[in-house]
Amino acid sequence: MNILFVSSGNTKEGISPIVYNQGISLQEIGHKITFFTIKEKGIKGYLKYIFILRNYLKDNPSDIVHAHYSLSAFAAALAGAKPMVVSLMGSDVKASPLLKYIIRIFKNIFWKKVIVKSEDMKASVKLSNVSVVPNGVDFSKFKPISREQALKVTGWDTTKKHVLFAANPKRREKNYPLAEKGFRSIDSSISAELHTLTDIPNLLMPAYFNAADVVLLTSLWEGSPNVIKEAMACNCKIVAVDVGDVKQVIGDTDGCFITDSHEQDISNKLEKALKVTEKTTGRTKISHLSSALIAEKLVTIYSTIT
């Protein structure tokens, strides 16, 4: 199958690692994947790329056009892309009622199939004929390695405990102020540091997960956060608020805790997680979310609309 991926290309790495990794997983099971990225921001940028993509489509026919995130999907639809599968990624249906309204219009007129990342997203978007397919995890990349080896990569203090807030603290929806308050409230006898991530290459992320004693997530909303699944694949301990599909992914994994959005509960759960000395069994718990299995689910969806 010849599949064209359409997405933003405005991150530091160009294409989002989540989108790129999904394309590679499809390529690895025998499909041809081409990436078309929109490399300008704002309404003007996306409008400009409607015409660029239209010309590209004329010269490069494909069996399926799979657009990731709503803005890329709007541009692809207006460029005449057919047949279209659209993956909504979380912020598309959580941040703006207006955006959800526009999504419904495009779904009814242009898009053959919509994919969301969690049941929570499905309930929020309120569309018919929607499939829930989480992003997969590359188990060959995200895996347990020794803490010593990981700390050499991160450069963190080897004598302290480390809590990883695995996001850019400037992103409002990630709710870093809550994470910081919760961390500051932990028992002062615990020698620990809180770390954030800004512009860390995806290739280095396994080292950061494995160097962390706990991965902390305090987001206002999520679809199906890859950071939790990637941390689980590295057998990390986790403290996370109940957003998106986090509770379902973590399940009953020892060393992983769901917290409410209160500073004291976060600090209590962090203390519990920091006292756990062993790695978790998270990798086994999410074996059904491997990239290869998710790729097969996508192919099944593609086959229904070609």
| Per-residue pLDDT, 80 | 97
In this structure, are 273 and 299 located in the same domain?
no
Taking alpha carbons only, the member of 272, 234, 228, 238 closest to residue 163 is 238
Is the Cβ–Cβ distance between 110 and 84 less than 8 Å? yes
Residue 203 inside a domain? The answer is yes
Residue 141 inside a domain? The answer is no
Is the Cβ–Cβ distance between 227 and 216 less than 8 Å? no
In this structure, are 246 and 295 located in the same domain?
no
pLDDT digits (tens, 9 = 90+) for 216-255: 999 999 989 999 999 999 999 999 999 999 999 999 999 9
Q: Is the pLDDT of residue 65 over 70?
A: yes
In this structure, are 198 and 98 located in the same domain?
no
Q: Is the pLDDT of residue 13 over 80?
A: no
Beta-strand pair 64-68/2-8: parallel
CATH assignment at residue 267: 3.40.50.2000
The residues, ordered by sequence, that sit 6+ positions from 55 with a Cβ below 8 Å of its Cβ are none
In this structure, are 169 and 190 located in the same domain?
yes
Taking alpha carbons only, the member of 68, 60, 89 closest to residue 8 is 68
pLDDT above 90 as % of the chain? 83
**DSSP-derived secondary structure for 253-275:** -TTEEEE-SSHHHHHHHHHHHHH
In this structure, are 241 and 262 located in the same domain?
yes
Work out the average pLDDT over 161-173.
95
In this structure, are 106 and 203 located in the same domain?
no
**Would you place residue 95 in the very low, low, confident or very high pLDDT band (cuts 50, 70, 90)?**
low
Which residue range(s) make up the domain with 174?
147-288
Is the Cβ–Cβ distance between 19 and 38 less than 8 Å? no
In this structure, are 78 and 167 located in the same domain?
no
In this structure, are 200 and 249 located in the same domain?
yes
pLDDT digits (tens, 9 = 90+) for 119-136: 988 888 888 889 999 999
Count of domains in the chain? Answer: 2
Residue 282 inside a domain? The answer is yes
**Would you place residue 23 in the very low, low, confident or very high pLDDT band (cuts 50, 70, 90)?**
very high
Residue 65 inside a domain? The answer is yes
Is pTM beyond 0.85 here? yes
In this structure, are 152 and 283 located in the same domain?
yes
In this structure, are 166 and 266 located in the same domain?
yes
Is the Cβ–Cβ distance between 113 and 87 less than 8 Å? no
Taking alpha carbons only, the member of 42, 46, 38, 45 closest to residue 74 is 46
